[in-house]
Amino acid sequence: MDCIFDLSARERDEAEAEAEGSKTVLYLVGDYEAAASIPIGASLPHLEREHELLPAAFYEVFTTNLWKWMRVYDYAAAKEHAAMWTDGLSEEEIKESVYPKVESELPACIGKHGAKRRRKKALPFLHQIYPVLRSSIARSLVKHVLEMDARGRSLNPVIMLWAHLGMGNKEEALADLEKAYSEHLNNLTTLKVDPAFDSLRSDPRFQDLLRRVGLAQ
């Protein structure tokens, strides 16, 4: 469903409740205000026939790379949104809303293995399995996402940094900061005060970087 999200929470609930859907259809939203959706659910069965872990690995690398270019609202964001909106509601109100469907509508091939397929594991897995894929569709999908990842590696590390911060990838965000520092980029002057870096402040590596940049107390 592509539409402008200018509806109230109740109106969105009613619209979603009336929409016919399938658990095999998975939407990614590239911009919450304009809801530019990317229906990739139809691709998942092709991947799962090759290997049970392939859909989750593909999904992880695909969404990670989309984050380099835009804010991505995926099922994790949907679950967070559902938890936020159901907080304080009565059990009856929750049952009448669409929010309980968030968890159940997630394709099993993503939900079952998604937590295990973080990018550090997912990307090597895709490289390993690509040469032995039998389906031309699966090969095309995996090739495309690997090319996306390769192109993304040439991006300014600061762009990568904001993507990894947005996704909560602490280790990769710290690596981006180190790369930005080694390349003498001038985007590190707000490290001490920008709330975007709050999740990193307790890490000794972040404090060491502040010292090297000259921002430590």
Can you spell out the DSSP letters for 42-103? GGHHHHHHH-TTHHHHHHHHHHHHHTTTS--B-HHHHHHHHHHHHTT--HHHHHHSSTTHHH
Residues 23 and 95 in one domain: yes
Residues 100 and 192 in one domain: no
pLDDT averaged per 10 residues in sequence order, the chain, 217 residues: 45 54 50 59 86 91 79 74 81 80 76 60 92 92 90 74 79 87 78 87 91 80
R_g of the chain, CA atoms, integer Å:
20
Residues 118 and 188 in one domain: no
Rounded CA separation 192/1 (Å): 41
Q: Looking at 152, 171, 190, which one is the last position of a domain?
A: 152
**H and E: helices and strands count for the chain:** 12, 2
| Alpha-carbon distance values, 198 to 68, 141, 206 (Å) | 20, 36, 10
Residues 124 and 185 in one domain: no
Residues 170 and 198 in one domain: yes
The pLDDT of residue 9 is: 58
Whether residue 1 lies inside any domain: the answer is: no
Whether residue 51 lies inside any domain: the answer is: yes
Residues 45 and 113 in one domain: yes
Q: To the nearest 5 percent, what fractions of the chain are helix, strand and coil?
A: 60, 5, 35
Residues 189 and 105 in one domain: no
Q: Is 177 exposed, middle or buried (0-12, 13-18, 19+ CB in 10 A)?
A: buried
Residue 166 in contact with residue 70, Cβ under 8 Å?
A: no
Residue 119 in contact with residue 61, Cβ under 8 Å?
A: yes
The pLDDT of residue 58 is: 92
Q: Looking at 135, 152, 169, which one is the last position of a domain?
A: 152
Whether residue 77 lies inside any domain: the answer is: yes
Whether residue 193 lies inside any domain: the answer is: yes
Whether residue 2 lies inside any domain: the answer is: no
Residues 140 and 174 in one domain: no
Q: pTM for the complete prediction? A: 0.58
Whether residue 3 lies inside any domain: the answer is: no
The pLDDT of residue 1 is: 35
Residues 130 and 192 in one domain: no
Residues 148 and 177 in one domain: no
The pLDDT of residue 6 is: 46
Residues 80 and 35 in one domain: yes
The pLDDT of residue 217 is: 62
Domains in the chain, number: 2
Domain hosting 92: range is 9-152
Residues 101 and 202 in one domain: no
Q: Looking at 152, 174, 201, which one is the last position of a domain?
A: 152
The pLDDT of residue 17 is: 56
